[in-house]
Amino acid sequence: MRPTHRWDDLQAFLAVARAGRLTEAARHMGIEHTTLSRRLSRLEAALGTKLFDRRPTGYGLSVEGERLLPRAEEIERAALGIWLDKVDPATGLTGSVRIGAPEAFGTFCLAERIGDFSTRHPGLSIELVATPRAFSLSKREADLAIGLTRPATGRLHARKLTDYDLGLYGTPAYIARWGEPKDKVDLHRHRFIGYIDELVFSPELDYFSAALPGVQPTIRISNVITQMTAAQGDAGLCILPCFMADRYPDLIRLLPHTVRITRTYWLLMHADLVHLHRTKVAAEFIVSVARAARQSFLPQRIT
């Protein structure tokens, strides 16, 4: 009897190849790990080869698995083109779209405008993941992502959203206690709030070595919103995105012409999803948000 070729077996293969672990792949697919294991075994039996090397650290692709991966992704792209761009004429755009963003951009730019976007597209399910991490679009962790660097490799489309400035901020109470810094040399006697080194997900967040060499944070916090809250509690000086900190009158920007860092937000999409209608609509929404907030991104450069 000829073996039965099943698309869900290839889906199982792709999920494990991307996750590297059976349990994580099963959770992502919404099935039991035993079901996923059976599908893998069935696919390997049908192909007559081993697709993964089972290791203590997870599942690694075998040589045959590496050969199968691009062909399975090609089949997946064809399926995405059929099913993921469904538009119901009666209700408009339907389906779901997940946006991955750094917490500052996600919270202070996208979240407050996402309601209007949802109202315009009531049939679209929107997921906003605003967290300090990088998103793997190849593993389908998000449909679109906002990154801090332009990827050098991979099947990704990158579009520059905007440059944005960061500055040094502190509270009046902190300044009253420790004095206002007069120059960079004066900063060495101050307390600083920064990132935990091993939890920094992008070298673009290493502000101190770039702008304040020799200065080390006294307090280290894993995400920028909590850093800002600590600064508002008079814990120390903090380098913050201007579009975030300038909203709060209890934060004063210090040495604005001496301590100014510029970074860039990039809109990233996997090549497989670029032509999907809902992905394009969501991308244009993100671009419009960045365009509307340009004054706050570069507060001292635009007149």
Q: What is the CATH number of the domain that holds 147?
A: 3.40.190.10
Q: Same structural domain for residues 200 and 131?
A: no
Position 261 scores a pLDDT of 94
Q: Which residues pair with 124 in a beta bridge?
A: 95
Say whether pTM exceeds 0.75.
Answer: no
Residues 6+ apart with CB under 8 A from 77: 272
Instruction: Please check whether residue 179 lies inside any domain of the structure.
Output: yes
Position 230 scores a pLDDT of 98
Please tell me the total count of domains within the chain.
Answer: 3
Position 86 scores a pLDDT of 54
Position 273 scores a pLDDT of 80
Instruction: Please check whether residue 53 lies inside any domain of the structure.
Output: yes
Q: Helix axis angle, 7-19 relative to 63-83, nearest 10°? A: 120
Chunk the chain into consecutive blocks of 10 residues (it has 303) and report each block's average pLDDT, rounded to whole numbers. 69 84 81 89 91 86 87 74 52 78 96 93 90 81 91 84 96 96 93 93 89 92 97 97 97 94 94 83 94 90 47
Position 82 scores a pLDDT of 60
- Can you give the residue range of the structural domain that contains 136? 88-162+264-294
Position 81 scores a pLDDT of 60
Position 3 scores a pLDDT of 53
Cα(97)–Cα(52) distance, integer angstroms: 30
Q: Same structural domain for residues 254 and 189?
A: yes
Q: Same structural domain for residues 214 and 101?
A: no
Q: Same structural domain for residues 112 and 143?
A: yes
Q: Same structural domain for residues 152 and 227?
A: no
Instruction: Please check whether residue 107 lies inside any domain of the structure.
Output: yes
Position 21 scores a pLDDT of 84
Instruction: Please check whether residue 209 lies inside any domain of the structure.
Output: yes
Q: Same structural domain for residues 143 and 272?
A: yes
Q: Same structural domain for residues 45 and 122?
A: no
Domain C-terminal end among 32, 57, 83: 83
Q: Are 149 and 266 within 8 A, CB to CB?
A: yes
Q: Same structural domain for residues 142 and 282?
A: yes
| CA geometry: angle 162, 168, 170, nearest 5 deg | 130
Q: Same structural domain for residues 102 and 189?
A: no
Q: Same structural domain for residues 181 and 43?
A: no
Instruction: Please check whether residue 200 lies inside any domain of the structure.
Output: yes
Position 239 scores a pLDDT of 97
Q: Same structural domain for residues 79 and 65?
A: yes
Instruction: Please check whether residue 215 lies inside any domain of the structure.
Output: yes
Instruction: Please check whether residue 301 lies inside any domain of the structure.
Output: no
Cα(150)–Cα(146) distance, integer angstroms: 10
Q: Are 268 and 151 within 8 A, CB to CB?
A: yes
Q: Same structural domain for residues 272 and 258?
A: no
CATH number, domain with residue 59: 1.10.10.10
Q: What is the DSSP string of 113-134?
A: THHHHHHH-TTEEEEEEE-SS-
Instruction: Please check whether residue 303 lies inside any domain of the structure.
Output: no
Cα(168)–Cα(254) distance, integer angstroms: 5
